[in-house]
Structure 1
Amino acid sequence: MTSKTKRAQYTLEFKLEAVRLVKSGQSMAVVSATLGIRAQTLHNWVKAEREGKLTGAGMKPVSPEQMELARLRAEVARLKMERDILKKAAAYFAKESV
Protein backbone atom coordinates (compact mmCIF):
# COMPACT_ATOMS: atom_id res chain seq x y z
CA MET A 1 0.00 0.00 0.00
CA THR A 2 1.62 3.23 -1.12
CA SER A 3 0.36 6.62 -0.15
CA LYS A 4 1.09 9.56 -2.37
CA THR A 5 1.82 12.79 -0.54
CA LYS A 6 0.15 15.86 -1.92
CA ARG A 7 2.54 18.59 -3.00
CA ALA A 8 1.87 22.07 -1.75
CA GLN A 9 0.74 24.56 -4.35
CA TYR A 10 1.45 28.27 -4.10
CA THR A 11 -0.04 31.20 -5.95
CA LEU A 12 2.06 33.43 -8.13
CA GLU A 13 1.52 36.31 -5.69
CA PHE A 14 2.94 34.26 -2.82
CA LYS A 15 5.96 33.22 -4.87
CA LEU A 16 6.62 36.77 -6.04
CA GLU A 17 6.44 38.08 -2.46
CA ALA A 18 8.92 35.40 -1.33
CA VAL A 19 11.28 36.31 -4.17
CA ARG A 20 10.90 40.02 -3.35
CA LEU A 21 11.94 39.35 0.26
CA VAL A 22 15.10 37.59 -0.93
CA LYS A 23 15.89 40.38 -3.38
CA SER A 24 15.45 42.96 -0.60
CA GLY A 25 18.46 41.45 1.13
CA GLN A 26 17.04 38.83 3.45
CA SER A 27 18.72 35.44 3.37
CA MET A 28 16.97 32.52 1.71
CA ALA A 29 17.21 30.56 4.96
CA VAL A 30 15.35 33.24 6.93
CA VAL A 31 12.70 33.77 4.27
CA SER A 32 12.08 30.05 3.77
CA ALA A 33 11.84 29.43 7.53
CA THR A 34 9.53 32.41 7.99
CA LEU A 35 7.21 31.39 5.18
CA GLY A 36 7.36 27.69 6.01
CA ILE A 37 8.79 26.53 2.71
CA ARG A 38 11.93 24.58 1.84
CA ALA A 39 15.04 26.60 1.01
CA GLN A 40 15.47 24.66 -2.25
CA THR A 41 11.93 25.56 -3.30
CA LEU A 42 12.65 29.24 -2.68
CA HIS A 43 15.93 28.96 -4.60
CA ASN A 44 14.02 27.47 -7.55
CA TRP A 45 11.51 30.33 -7.45
CA VAL A 46 14.27 32.97 -7.43
CA LYS A 47 15.96 31.27 -10.36
CA ALA A 48 12.68 30.94 -12.29
CA GLU A 49 11.82 34.60 -11.64
CA ARG A 50 15.23 35.68 -12.88
CA GLU A 51 14.64 33.69 -16.08
CA GLY A 52 11.08 35.02 -16.44
CA LYS A 53 9.55 31.56 -15.99
CA LEU A 54 7.92 31.87 -12.56
CA THR A 55 4.32 30.68 -12.58
CA GLY A 56 1.74 30.09 -9.89
CA ALA A 57 -0.79 27.39 -9.13
CA GLY A 58 -4.40 27.82 -10.11
CA MET A 59 -5.42 27.82 -6.47
CA LYS A 60 -7.37 30.33 -4.46
CA PRO A 61 -5.32 33.53 -4.36
CA VAL A 62 -3.51 34.49 -1.19
CA SER A 63 -5.44 37.19 0.62
CA PRO A 64 -3.87 40.58 1.30
CA GLU A 65 -3.96 39.69 5.00
CA GLN A 66 -1.91 36.54 4.36
CA MET A 67 0.58 38.50 2.29
CA GLU A 68 0.90 41.13 5.02
CA LEU A 69 1.32 38.42 7.65
CA ALA A 70 4.11 36.78 5.63
CA ARG A 71 5.80 40.16 5.14
CA LEU A 72 5.55 40.99 8.84
CA ARG A 73 6.89 37.58 9.86
CA ALA A 74 9.88 38.07 7.59
CA GLU A 75 10.45 41.55 9.01
CA VAL A 76 10.27 40.25 12.58
CA ALA A 77 12.82 37.55 11.75
CA ARG A 78 15.14 40.17 10.22
CA LEU A 79 14.76 42.50 13.21
CA LYS A 80 15.47 39.66 15.66
CA MET A 81 18.62 38.81 13.73
CA GLU A 82 19.72 42.46 13.80
CA ARG A 83 18.95 42.69 17.54
CA ASP A 84 21.04 39.61 18.24
CA ILE A 85 23.96 41.04 16.28
CA LEU A 86 23.72 44.31 18.22
CA LYS A 87 23.59 42.44 21.54
CA LYS A 88 26.77 40.57 20.66
CA ALA A 89 28.49 43.76 19.54
CA ALA A 90 27.46 45.58 22.73
CA ALA A 91 28.75 42.71 24.89
CA TYR A 92 32.01 42.64 22.96
CA PHE A 93 32.63 46.37 23.33
CA ALA A 94 31.56 46.37 26.99
CA LYS A 95 34.06 43.59 27.71
CA GLU A 96 36.76 45.45 25.78
CA SER A 97 36.33 48.70 27.75
CA VAL A 98 36.83 46.99 31.15
Structure 2
Amino acid sequence: MGSKYTKRYSEECKRDAIVLVRSSGRTVTEVARELGVRPESLRNWVRREQADRGEGTAGELTSDERGELKRLRRQNREQRQTIEILKRRPSS
Protein backbone atom coordinates (compact mmCIF):
# COMPACT_ATOMS: atom_id res chain seq x y z
CA MET A 1 0.00 0.00 0.00
CA GLY A 2 1.46 3.35 -1.03
CA SER A 3 2.07 6.16 1.37
CA LYS A 4 0.30 9.45 0.87
CA TYR A 5 3.75 10.99 1.24
CA THR A 6 5.21 9.22 -1.80
CA LYS A 7 7.34 11.64 -3.80
CA ARG A 8 6.78 11.96 -7.53
CA TYR A 9 9.83 12.52 -9.67
CA SER A 10 9.79 13.94 -13.18
CA GLU A 11 10.89 11.78 -16.08
CA GLU A 12 13.83 14.16 -16.56
CA CYS A 13 14.92 13.65 -12.95
CA LYS A 14 14.70 9.88 -13.36
CA ARG A 15 16.69 9.98 -16.62
CA ASP A 16 19.40 12.11 -15.03
CA ALA A 17 19.65 9.76 -12.05
CA ILE A 18 19.92 6.72 -14.35
CA VAL A 19 22.66 8.40 -16.38
CA LEU A 20 24.54 9.19 -13.17
CA VAL A 21 24.36 5.54 -12.06
CA ARG A 22 25.57 4.31 -15.44
CA SER A 23 28.36 6.84 -15.89
CA SER A 24 29.71 7.30 -12.36
CA GLY A 25 30.78 3.75 -11.55
CA ARG A 26 29.13 4.17 -8.14
CA THR A 27 26.48 1.90 -6.72
CA VAL A 28 22.78 2.64 -6.96
CA THR A 29 22.71 3.08 -3.19
CA GLU A 30 25.51 5.67 -3.27
CA VAL A 31 23.87 7.68 -6.06
CA ALA A 32 20.45 7.44 -4.39
CA ARG A 33 21.87 8.73 -1.11
CA GLU A 34 23.54 11.65 -2.91
CA LEU A 35 20.31 12.57 -4.73
CA GLY A 36 18.00 12.01 -1.76
CA VAL A 37 16.10 9.25 -3.55
CA ARG A 38 15.14 5.89 -2.08
CA PRO A 39 17.56 3.23 -3.37
CA GLU A 40 14.63 0.92 -4.22
CA SER A 41 13.12 3.62 -6.44
CA LEU A 42 16.36 4.31 -8.28
CA ARG A 43 17.00 0.58 -8.70
CA ASN A 44 13.54 0.19 -10.24
CA TRP A 45 14.15 3.11 -12.61
CA VAL A 46 17.45 1.58 -13.75
CA ARG A 47 15.84 -1.85 -14.21
CA ARG A 48 12.93 -0.39 -16.20
CA GLU A 49 15.31 1.57 -18.43
CA GLN A 50 17.31 -1.60 -19.09
CA ALA A 51 14.14 -3.46 -20.04
CA ASP A 52 13.11 -0.64 -22.38
CA ARG A 53 16.49 -0.96 -24.12
CA GLY A 54 15.94 -4.71 -24.50
CA GLU A 55 18.50 -5.56 -21.82
CA GLY A 56 16.08 -6.69 -19.12
CA THR A 57 15.67 -10.15 -17.73
CA ALA A 58 13.81 -12.78 -19.74
CA GLY A 59 10.09 -12.07 -19.77
CA GLU A 60 10.43 -8.57 -18.32
CA LEU A 61 7.99 -6.14 -19.94
CA THR A 62 9.01 -2.83 -21.46
CA SER A 63 7.20 0.36 -20.43
CA ASP A 64 5.14 0.22 -23.64
CA GLU A 65 4.18 -3.39 -22.98
CA ARG A 66 3.21 -2.59 -19.38
CA GLY A 67 1.04 0.28 -20.64
CA GLU A 68 -0.64 -1.96 -23.19
CA LEU A 69 -1.26 -4.66 -20.57
CA LYS A 70 -2.81 -2.09 -18.23
CA ARG A 71 -5.03 -0.78 -21.05
CA LEU A 72 -6.15 -4.29 -22.02
CA ARG A 73 -6.91 -5.24 -18.41
CA ARG A 74 -9.02 -2.10 -18.00
CA GLN A 75 -10.84 -2.83 -21.27
CA ASN A 76 -11.44 -6.44 -20.20
CA ARG A 77 -12.85 -5.30 -16.82
CA GLU A 78 -15.18 -2.81 -18.52
CA GLN A 79 -16.41 -5.46 -20.96
CA ARG A 80 -17.09 -7.92 -18.11
CA GLN A 81 -19.09 -5.22 -16.32
CA THR A 82 -21.09 -4.50 -19.49
CA ILE A 83 -21.83 -8.22 -19.94
CA GLU A 84 -23.04 -8.49 -16.33
CA ILE A 85 -25.34 -5.48 -16.80
CA LEU A 86 -26.76 -6.93 -20.02
CA LYS A 87 -27.36 -10.30 -18.35
CA ARG A 88 -29.49 -8.60 -15.69
CA ARG A 89 -31.72 -6.81 -18.18
CA PRO A 90 -35.08 -8.41 -18.72
CA SER A 91 -35.42 -9.86 -22.20
CA SER A 92 -38.01 -8.32 -24.49
TM-score, with structure 2 as normaliser: 0.50
Among all aligned residue pairs of Structure 1 and Structure 2, give the percentage whose two residues are the same amino acid: 33
Please state how far the C-alpha of 1:7 moved relative to its aligned partner: 1.3
1:50 match: 50
Q: CA RMSD in A?
A: 1.8
Q: What is the alpha-carbon distance in structure 2 between the residues aligned to residue 22 and residue 29 of structure 1?
A: 9
1:20 match: 19
Deviations 1:17-57 (A, max 9, x none): 10001111221111100110111111000001111239xxx
2:5 match: 6
1:79 match: none
Farther off after superposition, 20-29 or 41-50: 20-29
Q: Unaligned 5+ residue runs, structure 2?
A: 53-62, 65-92
TM-score, with structure 1 as normaliser: 0.47
Q: Unaligned 5+ residue runs, structure 1?
A: 55-98
What does 1:66-85 correspond to in 2, within 5 Å? none
Number of paired residues? 51
Q: What is the alpha-carbon distance in structure 2 between the residues aligned to residue 12 and residue 37 of structure 1?
A: 14
Structure with larger Rg? 2
Which runs of 4 or more aligned residues in structure 1 lie more than 3 Å from their structure 2 counterparts after TM superposition?
none
Structure with the larger RCO, 1 or 2 (CA within 8 Å, 6+ apart) = 1
